[in-house]
């Protein structure tokens, strides 16, 4: 009798569990495969990523310190650049520390909540980066196309407003998609063939296809990418028209030098971003997703300080003064 009751209870519990699993997720953690391979290769990859991460923090941190401590850089252009460098430090920190921990881990797990928190901060900071690139393009447009009106338009108060809008807007774009994706049924397997919690692999793990949610994410990604990109494209079209009207070659060279660094960063960042997110994520193979994500999330933040400092005399001089403890090197 006892065995019969116990069996009945077990059957009822199993039936209830199966019924619950058809409407909600019961995966409590995910496995981020990262870049699998032999232990020696993993150790090499760990060392390489660690060096890149430290160099990224050092380079962007140097720009932040230079903009903060050097009075000659207290201008709108460098205020935006300082915020952009500060953002890059946090942006790369949303993925790399966890990637390094996973390389050394045998389980390579991340909790369900931790996965979506990483998703939120990674995409929010990436969105804020798109907005900052747009604001920096607008600043260059005003400086070159409307130089007489520039001081009255790009005031300190207006700069602060633009900076706040970039930060706040970046963190307001992704709560809805993340809530929608987190409500999908994840009933196993829980292995994400990536090194970051990305919507493409998460959609692939859902027990039931969610074309509506995937379409919403696709439309949102396209708006976030193409909106700022078209704005940047329009700004620099007007800038180029104005530059080509400058009679002196020296004037054209100076104008190009102030815009060249920004255009290089925009090309590198948006080039990889469009390949990854403009079309539905399911069309990108796992290996392609990893490489493209690695470029715009790790390589680009590393290159940005070199691009902006090596091509900018004022920034190089400021970095010399800051690193030289206030000694002015000519």
Q: What is the pLDDT along the chain (330 residues), one digit of tens a residue?
A: 434 444 433 443 333 334 344 445 578 899 998 888 888 888 899 999 999 999 999 999 999 998 998 888 899 989 999 999 999 999 999 999 999 999 888 889 999 999 999 999 999 999 999 999 999 999 989 988 898 999 999 999 999 999 999 999 999 999 999 999 999 988 878 899 888 998 888 998 998 888 999 999 989 988 998 999 999 999 988 988 887 777 766 666 666 666 777 788 888 888 887 777 665 544 556 677 788 888 888 988 998 888 877 667 778 888 787 776 544 444
The Cβ of residue 101 has, within 10 Å, a number of other Cβ atoms equal to: 13
What DSSP string runs through 53-73?
A: HHHHHHHHHHHHHHHHH-GGG
Q: What is the pLDDT of residue 155?
A: 93
The pLDDT of residue 248: 66
298 within some domain: yes
**Whole domain around residue 222: which residue ranges?**
29-313
Ramachandran quadrant class, 72 (left: phi over 0; alpha: psi -120 to 50; beta: rest)? alpha
Total domains, the chain:
1
Name the one residue in this structure whose structure tokens are 């409590």.
28
The pLDDT of residue 49: 93
Q: Given this model, what pLDDT does residue 9 score?
A: 36
The dihedral region occupied by 198, where left means phi > 0, alpha psi between -120 and 50, and beta the remainder, is beta
What is the C-alpha separation between 177 and 166, in angstroms, rounded? 19
Question: The CATH number of the domain where 82 resides is what?
Answer: 1.20.1070.10
Domain for residue 148, yes or no?
yes
Q: What are the distances in angstroms from CA 188 to CA 26, 111, 140, 181, 206?
A: 8, 14, 50, 15, 8
Does residue 13 lie within any of the structural domains? no
Whether residue 180 lies inside any domain: the answer is yes
Distance CA 97, CA 91 (A): 11
- How far apart, in whole angstroms, are the C-alpha atoms of residue 165 and residue 40? 46
CA dist 40 and 44 (Å) reads 6
**Which among 275, 263, 205 has a CA at the least distance from the CA of 233?**
263
Q: Which of 208, 151, 158 is nearest to 25 (CA)?
A: 208
For 287-319, letters b (16+ CB in 10 Å) and e give eebbebbbbbbbebbbbbbebbbeebebbebbb
| Crossing angle between the packed helical segments 313-323 and 39-69, to the nearest 10 degrees | 90
The CA distance from 87 to 316, in Å, is 20
Look at residue 7 and tell me if it is in a domain: no
Structure token pair of residue 10: 């077990």
Can you give the C-alpha Rg of the chain in angstroms?
A: 24
pLDDT at res. 3: 41
Ramachandran angles phi, psi of 32, nearest 5°: -95, 105
Instruction: Please tell me the pTM assigned to this model.
Output: 0.84
Does 254 map to a domain?
Answer: yes
Does the residue 91 lie in any domain? yes
Instruction: Output the six-digit token pair for 315.
Output: 């920034």
For residue 145, is it within any domain? yes
């Amino acid at each position: 009798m006892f065995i019969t009751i116990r069996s009945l209870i077990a059957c009822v519990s199993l039936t209830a569990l199966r019924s619950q699993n058809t409407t909600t997720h019961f995966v409590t953690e995910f496995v981020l495969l990262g870049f699998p391979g032999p232990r020696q290769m993993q150790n090499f990859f760990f060392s390489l990523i660690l060096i890149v991460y430290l160099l990224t923090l050092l380079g962007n941190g140097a720009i932040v310190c230079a903009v903060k401590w050097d009075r000659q850089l207290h201008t709108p252009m460098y205020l935006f650049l300082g915020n952009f460098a500060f953002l890059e430090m946090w942006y790369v920190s949303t993925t790399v520390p966890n990637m390094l921990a996973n390389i050394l881990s045998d389980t390579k797990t991340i909790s369900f909540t931790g996965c979506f928190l990483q998703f939120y901060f990674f995409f929010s900071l990436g969105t804020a980066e798109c907005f900052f690139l747009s604001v920096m393009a607008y600043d260059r447009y005003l400086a070159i196309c409307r130089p007489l009106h520039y001081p009255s338009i790009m005031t300190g108060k207006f700069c602060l407003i633009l900076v706040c809008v970039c930060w706040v807007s970046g963190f307001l774009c992704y709560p809805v998609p993340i809530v929608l994706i987190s409500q999908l049924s994840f009933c196993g397997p829980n292995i994400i063939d990536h090194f970051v919690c990305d919507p493409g692999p998460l959609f692939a793990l859902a027990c039931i296809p969610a074309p509506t949610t995937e379409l919403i994410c696709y439309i949102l990604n396209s708006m976030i990418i193409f909106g700022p990109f078209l704005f940047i494209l329009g700004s620099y079209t007007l800038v180029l028209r104005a530059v080509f009207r400058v009679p002196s070659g020296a004037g054209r060279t100076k104008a190009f030098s102030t815009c060249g660094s920004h255009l290089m960063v925009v090309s590198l960042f948006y080039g990889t971003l469009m390949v990854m997110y403009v079309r539905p994520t399911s069309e990108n193979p796992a290996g392609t997703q990893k490489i493209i994500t690695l470029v715009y999330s790790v390589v680009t933040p590393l290159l940005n300080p070199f691009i902006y400092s090596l091509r900018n005399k004022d920034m190089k001089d400021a970095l010399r003064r800051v690193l030289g403890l206030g000694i002015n090197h000519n």
